[in-house]
C-alpha cells in the first residue's frame, strides 16, 4: 500500500500549535519519524487562516531538510497547491482536486505540463452539490475525473481516487460500508491502474477505540482494492493489519513482506 | 458472531497441565472468564491419551458449576462426544463431525433423536483423503454434509461449517485466503441459514504478531459470511475488530452493539 503520512497537518491540534509557534524541531521530528516508518509520501497541510502558501513553504523546506521522500502538497485551494509545487525538490502528490469549483480544469492543465509529468494527483469524488449519498453519483464523478484526465493526457497510473470515507456510526440502517465498497470495486474492476485511496481514520469518527475500527476498515477496504491510504504510519497495529490483509489478498507470497516489516519494526508484538 | 470460547482445551499447554493436575480452580476460572466475556458456547476438549470421556465429564461438570452457557463438546472421536452429551445440562454444540471415517452416519442419527433436537453441530470439510486443497472439493464435502443432514432431518440452522482455516504463510503463491473465501461465499449464497465458522487463530501459525493476522482475517472472513468462530473471547482487540467489521457489513445499525460492547468492557482503549 502507498502510505501517505498524515501527521503534518495543521488541523491536528499538536501540529497546529507547532505551526503557529514556527516550531521547526517539531516539524522535522514528525517528518523524520514518518519517513523512518516507511511512508511513501509525507503529506503537508498548513490549515491556517492566513499565509497558507508561506506556511506550506516553511513546512516543505523543513520536511525536505530531513528526508528525500516526496511531498503530498495538501490544501483545499488548488491554486495554493499549484504555487507550492515548485517548493518541492522532486515530484510528489497534488492533494487534492475534486469536482468542486471547476478544480479539475485548473489543476489538470498544470499536471499535464512536461515539468510536472511525474506528479501524481488525488481526486475526491465530490462536486458542487457536496458529498454524494449514492455509489452511482460517486461513480459518475469518478468517470468525469477519468474523462478530464484523459482529455489532458494525464495517465491513469498517476491518479489516486479518494472515494470519500465517512464516519461509520451515522451510515444508513443496514448499509455499513457497502456503498464505499461498491465504488471501490467499480474502480478496481474498470480502471485497475488507478490507485484507490482515502483517509482511513475518517471511518471511526465518534466511535470508541477508533484504532480497532480503523483496522477492521483497512482490511475490508484492501479486499475491495484500496492500495493507497492517508494514515498515521506510526500506528503500528494498523500497519501490521494492512500487511496481513495484503498477504490474505494474495499480494505477499509466503508473507515475506509482512515478516520483513516486523523485523524492521514497522509493527511490533 | 457466535463465539465458541476455545481456552479450555488440553492441547493448550497451560490447560493441559491443569487437566493433568486435576486443577479444578483453573478450569472454573477460565470458564468464568470466558463466560463473562460474552461467549456463546464454552468449548471443552480434553486432549488426553487415556480416559478422555472421564476427563470430559470432569471438565464439563466444573464448567457447569460456574456458568449456564451451553457446552461445545469437543473431541476427534464422535463416539466420545455422543457419550458426553448427557453430561450437559442443556443443549450445546457437537464439535465436530467430518467426512472422515463415516462420522456423519454415526453422529447425525443421534442428533436426529428428539432428546438432542436442540443440539447444534460443527462439520469440518475434510474426508478420508484428508484436507482438500481445492474449493471445489471442500464444497463437494459441504454438499455431502447438507445431503446427510437433510436425510436425517437435521435443520440447516443447526449446522456450523468449519471450512478449515489453514496457516496463511504456506498458501500457494498469489492465493492468500481466496480459496477459503470462495468456500464461505458459496455457503453464504446457497445456504444462508447455515453458520460459517472455523478456528480463527489457525490463520496465523508461524507468523510474528499473530493477533494482527487474526484481526485482519476476522474482518475479511466476516465480509465473506463468517458468523461463528472458535476463538479466545478474552482477546479484546479481536473482539473489537469483529464487532467493527460486523458494523461495516451493515449488521449493527449506528454501531450500537459495538459501543455497548465497549461499555461492557468486551474490548478496551
pLDDT score of B63: 98
Per-residue model confidence as pLDDT tens digits over B216-234 = 999 999 999 999 999 999 9
Greatest Cα-to-Cα distance within chain B, rounded to the nearest angstrom: 51
Nearest to A221 by CA among A258, A172, A185: A185
Per-residue model confidence as pLDDT tens digits over A259-268 = 999 999 999 9
Facing B208 at nearest CB: one of A207, A253, A269: A269
Complex ipTM, two decimals?
0.96
pLDDT score of B85: 98
Residue A223: list chain B partners with CB under 8 A: 220, 223
Cβ–Cβ below 8 Å for B168 and A247: yes
Q: If DSSP codes are grouped into helix, strand and coil, which group holds residue A161?
A: strand
Facing A248 at nearest CB: one of B176, B245, B248: B176
Tell me, yes or no, if the pTM score tops 0.95. Answer: yes
CB A105 within 8 Å of CB A148: yes
Distance in Å, alpha carbon of A228 to nearest chain B alpha carbon: 17
HSE (CB half, 13 Å, CA atoms) of B212? 29
pLDDT score of B173: 85
Residue B71, pLDDT above cutoff 90: yes
Per-residue model confidence as pLDDT tens digits over A66-112 = 999 999 999 999 999 999 999 999 999 999 999 999 999 999 999 99
Angle at A178 between CA B1 and CA A234, to 5 degrees: 80
pLDDT score of B174: 87
- State yes or no: cis peptide before B163, omega within 30 of 0: no
Residue B172, pLDDT above cutoff 90: no
Instruction: Locate all alpha helices (DSSP H) within A152-232, ordered by sequence.
Output: 178-190, 210-223
Rounded mean pLDDT of A137-152? 97
Quickly count helices (H) and strands (E) in chain B.
10, 8
Res. B199 pLDDT band, cuts 50 70 90: very high
Angle at B70 between CA B101 and CA B214, to 5 degrees: 75
For chain A, which residues lie within 8 Å of any Cβ of chain B, measuring from their own Cβ?
A: 168-171, 173-178, 203, 207-209, 212-213, 215-217, 219-220, 223, 237, 240-242, 244-245, 247-255, 258-259, 262, 267-269
Distance CA A246, CA A219 (A): 8
pLDDT score of A90: 98
pLDDT score of B81: 98
Nearest to B72 by CA among B91, B96, B92: B92
Distance in Å, alpha carbon of A219 to nearest chain B alpha carbon: 6
Cβ–Cβ below 8 Å for B259 and A208: yes
Residue B11, pLDDT above cutoff 90: yes
Residue A236, pLDDT above cutoff 90: yes
pLDDT score of A126: 97
Query: What is the torsional sign of CA B101, B104, B105, B109?
Result: positive
Residue A174, pLDDT above cutoff 90: no
At B230, list the grid cell. 472458535
Distance CA A226, CA A162 (A): 10
pLDDT score of A31: 98
Rounded mean pLDDT of B167-174? 90
pLDDT score of A172: 85
Distance in Å, alpha carbon of B95 to nearest chain A alpha carbon: 27
CB B125 within 8 Å of CB B98: yes
Quickly count helices (H) and strands (E) in chain A.
10, 8
Rounded mean pLDDT of A3-8? 98
- Average pLDDT of chain B, as a whole number: 97
- Average pLDDT of chain A, as a whole number: 97
Bridge partners, residue B156, by sequence: none
Rounded mean pLDDT of B10-38? 98
Instruction: Give the β-pairing of A195-196 and A228-231.
Output: unpaired
For chain B, which residues lie within 8 Å of any Cβ of chain A, measuring from their own Cβ?
A: 168-171, 173-178, 203, 207-209, 212-213, 215-217, 219-220, 223, 237, 240-242, 244-245, 247-255, 258-259, 262, 267-269
Nearest CA in chain B to A245: B216
Distance CA B55, CA A134 (A): 58
HSE (CB half, 13 Å, CA atoms) of B231? 33
Rounded mean pLDDT of B16-28? 98
Contacts of B55 (CB under 8 A, 6+ apart): B10, B19, B46, B48
Residue A240: list chain B partners with CB under 8 A: 209, 212-213
CB A38 within 8 Å of CB A261: yes
Cβ–Cβ below 8 Å for B245 and A168: no
pLDDT score of B42: 98
Facing A220 at nearest CB: one of B169, B209, B219: B219
**Torsions phi, psi for B216 (to 5 deg):** -60, -45
Per-residue model confidence as pLDDT tens digits over B76-127 = 999 999 999 999 999 999 999 999 999 999 999 999 999 999 999 999 999 9
CB B65 within 8 Å of CB B28: yes
Amino acid at each position: 500500500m502507498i502510505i501517505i503520512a498524515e501527521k503534518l497537518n495543521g488541523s491536528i491540534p499538536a501540529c497546529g500549535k507547532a505551526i503557529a509557534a514556527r516550531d521547526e524541531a517539531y516539524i522535522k521530528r514528525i517528518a523524520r519519524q514518518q519517513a523512518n516508518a516507511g511512508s511513501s509520501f509525507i503529506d503537508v497541510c498548513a490549515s491556517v487562516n492566513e499565509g497558507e502558501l508561506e506556511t506550506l513553504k516553511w513546512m516543505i523546506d523543513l520536511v525536505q531538510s530531513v528526508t528525500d521522500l516526496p511531498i503530498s502538497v495538501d490544501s483545499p485551494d488548488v491554486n495554493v497547491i499549484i504555487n507550492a509545487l515548485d517548493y518541492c525538490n522532486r515530484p510528489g502528490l497534488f492533494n487534492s482536486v475534486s469536482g468542486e469549483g471547476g478544480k479539475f480544469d485548473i489543476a489538470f492543465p498544470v499536471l499535464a505540463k512536461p515539468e510536472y509529468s511525474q506528479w501524481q494527483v488525488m481526486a475526491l469524488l465530490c462536486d458542487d452539490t457536496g458529498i454524494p449519498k449514492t455509489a452511482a453519483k460517486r461513480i459518475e464523478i469518478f468517470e468525469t475525473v477519468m474523462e478530464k484526465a484523459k482529455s489532458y493526457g494525464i495517465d491513469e497510473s498517476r491518479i489516486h481516487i479518494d472515494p470519500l470515507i465517512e464516519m461509520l456510526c451515522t451510515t444508513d440502517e443496514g448499509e455499513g460500508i457497502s456503498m464505499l465498497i461498491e465504488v471501490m470495486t467499480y474502480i478496481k474492476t474498470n480502471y485497475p491502474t488507478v490507485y484507490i485511496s482515502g483517509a482511513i481514520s475518517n471511518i471511526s469518527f465518534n466511535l470508541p477505540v477508533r484504532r480497532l475500527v480503523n483496522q477492521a476498515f483497512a482490511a475490508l477496504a484492501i479486499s475491495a482494492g484500496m492500495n493507497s491510504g492517508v494514515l498515521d504510519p506510526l500506528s503500528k497495529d494498523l500497519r501490521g493489519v494492512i500487511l496481513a490483509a495484503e498477504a490474505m489478498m494474495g499480494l505477499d507470497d509466503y508473507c515475506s513482506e509482512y515478516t520483513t516489516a516486523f523485523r524492521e519494526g514497522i509493527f511490533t508484538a
